[in-house]
Structure 1
Amino acid sequence: MVKAATVYDVAKHAGVSIATVSMTFRRPDRVKQSTRDLVLASARALHYVPSASARGLADGRTGVLGLFSFDYLLPAEAAVLPTEIAFVREDPDERCREFPLYVDEIQRGMELACRRHGYALMIGGPSRSGGADTVTDIAGRVDGLAVFPQTLPDDALERIAGRIPVVAVSEPPHDDRLSHVTVANRGGMRAVTEHLIREHGRRDLLFVGGLNPAEGRDRFAGFRDALRAAGLRVPRKPLVPETRATPSGRAAVTLPADLRLPEAFVCATDDVALDVLEILAGRGVRVPEQVAVTGFDGIVAGRVARPGLTSVRQPMAEMGRLVVDVLLRHIAEPGRAPDFHELPVQVVLRESCGC
């Protein structure tokens, strides 16, 4: 390979100082037009590409933000690509059960915001070994980091937050040094539960889903708020279903075969709700005639499911954009106190509740 041109080569070719070349690429508005044209012409002639790491050494910035995300979208086995065109009797919307999920839409919002601000986005997830090597590697290469719930231990987050800004996504704030961007989990779940009670007369409701991460606890609290306000029995615990691995590697919930059928399943997430719909269909239970089902998140799969899934939609892309805005504010103001943002949600009514 031909040795890559350096800033020194461009400066010599253009007959200007190294500082002028650097300023042309970092702050072109501060370089005279004729000089800027000369430097850029030399860069093109030499196939010169500015080094992001070199710029980082100069101003202490990398121009990159990080996102530490789940890795559960990776299939258990690598997909084998077809070698020729084939005809299959398969619903193309089946892929929506695995992609895109809410993490993907938040990531997309971050990507758009990074592009607008001239940043790149680096994405990583927990290592298979469970070590902290991946996040340490990412944190050392970025100016700020966004993390999803339960992807990193609290002590690791605390260490990273002592060096770069960190935003916890979807998690309500607690005693930490992190900024938080989340949604109205409690209020949204209360609203959809009240809809089932008031508009559809459902009075025997069962909450399905775990209480971790903390957003699950908030959603269960909203469910209990609605029952209490309606004078109905308030359960102390939700139904936490067992899970099984699907052929694609996704974890799907299961319901006990002898489970007494309530009037409505109020599910902690759309992913759980869609599994419940499949289980009920397999058992010959009609939705919503015999039982209503609702979810939370507003993922694409809920729109194409039959019946369509009533859900509480998070403003996922907007969350991603806001995460970037928060990180950039803290990069510009290193001593700034942590931010907390709770975005509103929307109850989307479809067939699964009876609407």
Structure 2
Amino acid sequence: MPGRKRATLATVAETAGVSLPTVSKVLNGRADVAAETRTRVESALRELGYVPQNGRRTVAPSRVVDAVFDDLVSPYTLEVLRGVTDAGAELGIDVVVGRVPAAEPGGPLNPEDQWAQRLKSNDRSGLIVVTSELSLAQVESFENAGLPLVVIDPLNLPRAEVTSVGATNWSGGITATEHLLSLGHRRIAFAGGPLEASCSQARLHGYRAALENAGVPFDPDLVRHGEFDHPDGLAMGDHLLTLPEPPTAVFAANDATALGVLEAARRRGLRVPQDLSVVGFDDTMLARLGTPPLTVIRQPLHDMGRVAVRTLDKLITGDALDSHHVELATQLVVRESTGPAPDGGAR
């Protein structure tokens, strides 16, 4: 039986329905090829067993992107990371996971340039930054290095053109507060995140809008800010529950904060939800493991990770984006940490 005819670039191009230059671009790892076209060419290369003139079988080189987080161990991070890696596997993109790097003093470059140059020298195709604060200088250094950037749930956006993926934080704040109002609560506190975090500010504005819509006066004494963690949630809960007129309900800006508030209530002998109702935000595994399980505003964290990778893939291949800012819908999930206000909402 005669041997199989050796595949050429021309046969690969014909099979994939593309031009010879397009096949060459894919083989050389060029970014200026649409994702769908790249997939067709890679499939044709594998199907035909294309072997270049040096005799070694080739497959198109994979693209590699960095996904960096402030915190690698939180339940929030794990959910987002699962979405990032799932989408990377689907698109043939390798994801390198790390933390936001510290500045390197004494080098010839500015700290913001060091990060971009390191990524460029390691042949990264793009960058995903999760819940971190970026400076304008950093954003410009990525742009100057030709590194596409997508930010997930940004603490800030130093420039309007920065591409971001988040959730409907404002409407989530409204929904959480309206849920507590519907249960008869009128002394509703807000245990928020850092003042500079745009997502926390949006949740606060939603909280205030819901109070105003219900004709409930806003009380600044019922608003506290801290980090998105259990210790600060505990400290904010301690403060709020020792007020002369303490709240009957607390809307916390994330799940870890909400669990801190629950602990503050437990230490005072308060029953949840009979004496105090608590709503969290995110719906990580912490919410389901709480005692009692938390009522939350669910963020689609897994989908946020997936959308970020797909958006970055479009930036890498030069495809047009429908929007530079994507907000995925939040959802109220009612569990056992919320109930009717005691004594009609007054203490």
Work out whether residues 209 and 268 of structure 1, in 8 Å CA contact, stay in contact via their aligned partners in 2: yes
Supply the distance in 1 between the matched residues of 2:203 and 2:102 (Cα, whole angstroms).
30
Structure 1 residues 37 and 31 mapped into 2: Cα distance closer, same or farther (>3 Å)? closer
Supply the distance in 2 between the matched residues of 1:242 and 1:337 (Cα, whole angstroms).
33
Work out whether residues 289 and 354 of structure 1, in 8 Å CA contact, stay in contact via their aligned partners in 2: yes
Structure 1 residues 206 and 326 mapped into 2: Cα distance closer, same or farther (>3 Å)? same
Q: Normalization by structure 1: what TM-score?
A: 0.71
Work out whether residues 125 and 134 of structure 1, in 8 Å CA contact, stay in contact via their aligned partners in 2: no
The offset of 1:214, in angstroms, is 0.3
Instruction: Give the counterpart of 2:224 among 239, 242, 249.
Output: 239
1:93: which partner in 2? none
Work out whether residues 255 and 282 of structure 2, in 8 Å CA contact, stay in contact via their aligned partners in 1: yes
Structure 1 residues 49 and 284 mapped into 2: Cα distance closer, same or farther (>3 Å)? farther
Work out whether residues 144 and 327 of structure 1, in 8 Å CA contact, stay in contact via their aligned partners in 2: yes
Of the structure 1 ranges 335-344 and 322-331, higher mean CA displacement relative to structure 2 is found in 335-344
2:266: which partner in 1? 281
The offset of 1:259, in angstroms, is 2.3
SS in 2 for 1:155: helix
Supply the distance in 2 between the matched residues of 1:186 and 1:19 (Cα, whole angstroms).
54
Structure 1 residues 16 and 341 mapped into 2: Cα distance closer, same or farther (>3 Å)? closer
SS in 2 for 1:107: helix
Q: What are the equivalent positions in structure 2 for 1:135-214 lying under 5 Å apart?
A: 136-138=117-119, 140=121, 141-162=123-144, 163-171=146-154, 175-198=159-182, 200-210=183-193, 211-214=195-198
Of the structure 1 ranges 271-280 and 255-264, higher mean CA displacement relative to structure 2 is found in 255-264
Supply the distance in 1 between the matched residues of 2:118 and 2:46 (Cα, whole angstroms).
39
Structure 1 residues 67 and 291 mapped into 2: Cα distance closer, same or farther (>3 Å)? same
Q: Normalization by structure 2: what TM-score?
A: 0.73
Corresponding letter in the other structure for 1:226? A
1:304: which partner in 2? 289
SS in 1 for 2:178: helix
Corresponding letter in the other structure for 1:330? L
Work out whether residues 136 and 158 of structure 2, in 8 Å CA contact, stay in contact via their aligned partners in 1: no
CA shift digits 1:280-332 (9 cap, x unpaired): 11221111111111111111111111111011001111111111111111222
Supply the distance in 1 between the matched residues of 2:321 and 2:226 (Cα, whole angstroms).
42
Instruction: Give the counterpart of 1:108 among 77, 82, 88.
Output: 82
Instruction: Give the counterpart of 1:125 among 86, 99, 104.
Output: 99
1:265: which partner in 2? 250
CA shift digits 1:221-271 (9 cap, x unpaired): 00000100111111357212489997xxxx764134672221111111111
Structure 1 residues 31 and 276 mapped into 2: Cα distance closer, same or farther (>3 Å)? closer
User: How many residue pairs align between the two structures?
Assistant: 295
The offset of 1:135, in angstroms, is 5.6
Corresponding letter in the other structure for 2:208? R
Q: Unaligned stretches of 5+ in structure 1?
A: 1-14, 56-61, 74-98
Supply the distance in 2 between the matched residues of 1:129 and 1:283 (Cα, whole angstroms).
44
Structure 1 residues 227 and 138 mapped into 2: Cα distance closer, same or farther (>3 Å)? same
2:69: which partner in 1? 69
Supply the distance in 2 between the matched residues of 1:337 and 1:18 (Cα, whole angstroms).
34
Q: Does 1:36 align with 2:49?
A: yes
Work out whether residues 152 and 165 of structure 2, in 8 Å CA contact, stay in contact via their aligned partners in 1: yes
Structure 1 residues 31 and 335 mapped into 2: Cα distance closer, same or farther (>3 Å)? closer
Work out whether residues 68 and 151 of structure 1, in 8 Å CA contact, stay in contact via their aligned partners in 2: no
Q: Aligned residues: percent identity? A: 27
Supply the distance in 1 between the matched residues of 2:297 and 2:151 (Cα, whole angstroms).
21
Q: Unaligned stretches of 5+ in structure 2?
A: 1-5, 13-22, 28-40, 105-110, 341-347
Q: What root-mean-square deviation, in Å, do the aligned CA atoms of Structure 1 and Structure 2 show?
A: 3.6
2:199: which partner in 1? 215
The offset of 1:353, in angstroms, is 0.9
